[in-house]
Structure 1
Amino acid sequence: MTRTRKSRFGALFLLLLIVAAAAAGYWAWQRYSAFADTPISGLEQGNSVVIAPGDSLAAVLGKLRDAGVREGEDVEWRVLARELGAAANLHVGEYALDPGTTPRELLLAMRAGDIIQHRFTIVEGWNIRELRAALDAAEPLLHESTGLDADGLMAAIGHTGEHPEGRFLPETYMYARGDSDLGLLRRAYVASEQALAAAWEQRDPDSPLQTPYEMLILASIVEKETGIAEERPQIAGLFERRLDIGMRLQTDPTVIYGIGEAYDGNIRRSHLTTDTPYNTYTRAGLPPTPIAMPGVDALNAVANPARGTALYFVAIGDGSGRHLFADSLAEHQANVRKYLRNYRQARRQNQRDTE
């Protein structure tokens, strides 16, 4: 073979190698791109993976494999992580493995710290027992308050000596895996203090309430008396008028609160005549503490109660949750008779409906 032919053969062979290498590189790139942007198979709603403090990329890949992620070789994950700047910037937390998630989206979420946020709602009108029971059942919230009594609970959140009732604002709070119930309660306490301060600042100048805590107590009573938004200012005004003239509040929710866990769902005449610190039939003025967690609307209703002359109210009794208001005892007694008629009629109708 002549030198010229050898040169030509060598050049052709080199060209073939270049083409083969280019083809292999293109194939590898195509495969890598498909891996990076193709949804991970087999994921179900609610799946997640947790990055713990000190976890390396290799440790995270191991957790993904344990969670059922089979896509991609480890080297592809490492290359993608370096490309995205995530390899050394994985944030601690819990990340969703939702259907449709791609490897690129998952690593970007881990780089950004886009962790799963869980919800916990404090319901308007809950008392502290109900709130603590809901916290104990909340997952994945850490339960650091278990076993603490009321004094221990308040000390643990930095408010030694305060009664916990009414101190935690009803709303929905977001938290991440690893957060504790005490941390959530601290946030709810601060939110309640802020809402109470705002309501106190814009209160009616003629209000008989002497302190923000008295406002909190009355707001908790209003919260328990009605779920009808437009009635809250009416009921708040009625109670404030009673306080003004020294008339007892005579409100059943305070009596029920004083009965405590012994309350079986029925309030009896004996309950109304048995004295406790919370019995507003036997004692004048406000009870010693709130009886529930009042929401912002109840606080605002107490801050700006409706004007009027009514001193009495009773449920309509038709299942609507609404009330009849009266200026005089005679008018109130007539409303009570209406309530009893409506209640009996509704009860008979319910019995017919269930037969």
Structure 2
Amino acid sequence: MGVAIALVVAGSVLTALALRSALGMDKVTDYPGPGSGQVAVTVKPGSGVLEVAQELQQDGVVADADTFVQAFADANGKIHPGDFTFKKQMKSSDAAQILAGNTAPVIYFALSAGMRVSDSLAAIAQAAGVNPNDLNALNSQPQQFGLPPQAKSLEGYLAPGEYKFPVGTPAKDIIAKLVSTTVDELKADGVTDPTKQYQDLIVASIVQAEGGQADYGNVAGAIYNRLKPNDQTNGLIQSDATVTYGLGTKTVQLTDAQKADPANPYNTYVHPGLPPGPIGSPGAKAVAAAAHPTPNNYLYWVTVNLDTGETKFASTYAQHQANVAQYQQWCTANPGKCH
């Protein structure tokens, strides 16, 4: 009978443990803390509390995401983007205090590759709450940021990307960081001379605008080929993007009159060589392509699908015309997308 009782008790324990596990009753919902080590967590703009909580649970910072969410609510916390340092196996209330306690707002903005300086400055002014006139004044004095005399503005130098600065950061310091990021990219690609940097930025900005999803290296190679003596281009880049920039518009459709207008200094259908300056802020890939173009025999390129960015290259004008016809067919099949 003693053996029978022992078996019954053992069976009851096993059953209870199985039931407890099935019901989640043995789940650890919180650590006693205070924790150890360091865990760096970046809260991105737009992140929700539950999303952050799940990441903290996955990283071993807290035991249970739901418990952390409740602790964060109890702390009256608000989510702000930024970098936070936690410990492994923290008590949820302690972790919530770290996230809720680092609520000092930051200046955050994102600049896309290809953005013109006017659009970039507008985004910075809005995010930083600074007077646009102050940024325009900085834009008109690029040499104070160490730029070569050829640069008449900051066009091309405001590196695209996501930025966070402490609230109150002077506008000049923000601009200096963006400019130095671009210059550092050029140096990393082996371009150290300021004049050569400026020329490469011009090419890179055209590559960024014209390349779409194409191989930037091939676009850069074709641009340099056009500038070399050949029997087809006469040193003309013939870029729609440069003409559009000179017109102050963003259309992808140009008239014959616009392409023939010599009054537009950025009209590379009329004026041989590089335009006077960059036509936007190129991304790192475009900068690298301008510094190290892919050797090829191309002279022409055209994006034949504006949705996918598919770009086709050609070595002769006849080949190019066939590619242009494909682009026109796409425009016909997609009304309104080419205007």
Category of TM-score, reference length = shorter chain: 0.5 to 0.7
User: Is this contact kept in 1: 2:302–2:324, CA < 8 A?
Assistant: yes
Q: Structure 2: which 5+ residue stretches go unaligned? A: 1-70, 85-90
- Aligned-residue offset at 1:197: 1.8
Q: Distance in 2 between matches of 1:330 and 1:119?
A: 49
Q: Which structure dedicates a bigger proportion of its chain to strand?
A: 2
2:255 pairs with one of 260, 268, 278? 268
Map residues 166-245 of structure 1 onto 2, 5 A cutoff.
166-201=156-191, 211-228=196-213, 230-245=214-229
TM-score by length of 1: 0.61
Of 97, 120, 125, which aligns to 2:109?
120
Cα contact 1:127–1:291 (8 A) shared by 2: yes
The AA in structure 2 aligned to 1:299 is V
Are the aligned partners of 2:221 and 2:295 in contact in 1 as well (CA < 8 Å)?
yes
Cα offset, 1:148, TM superposition: 5.0
Q: How many aligned positions are there? A: 252
Pick the aligned partner of 2:133 from 142, 146, 165: 146
Larger relative helix fraction: 1
2:73 matches 1:43? no
Structure-1 separation of matches of 2:306 and 2:205: 24
Tell me the distance in 2 between the aligned counterparts of 1:105 and 1:243.
Answer: 60
Indicate how the Cα distance of structure 1 residues 150 and 231 shifts in structure 2: closer, same or farther if over 3 A, else same: farther
* 8 Å CA contact 1:40, 1:101 repeated in 2: no
Change (3 A) 1:192 1:45: same
Aligned-residue Cα RMSD (Å) equals 3.6
Whichever residue aligns with residue 43 of structure 1, its letter is N
Change (3 A) 1:168 1:47: closer
Q: Residue 190 of structure 1: SS of its match in structure 2?
A: helix
Over the matched positions of the two proteins, sequence identity in percent amounts to 26
Alignment correspondent of 2:11: none
Mean Cα deviation higher: 177-186 or 163-172 = 177-186
1:188 corresponds to which letter in structure 2?
L
Task: Supply the distance in 2 between the matched residues of 1:124 and 1:300 (Cα, whole angstroms).
Answer: 14
SS in 2 for 1:149: helix
Normalised by the length of structure 2, the TM-score is 0.64
**Structure number with bigger Rg:** 1
Provide the rounded CA distance (Å) in 2 between the counterparts of 1:307 and 1:121: 33
**Aligned pair 1:256/2:244, yes or no?**
yes
Is there any run of 5+ residues in structure 1 with no aligned partner, and where?
A: 1-37, 49-94, 204-209, 351-355
- In structure 1, distance between residues paired with 2:306 and 2:136: 40
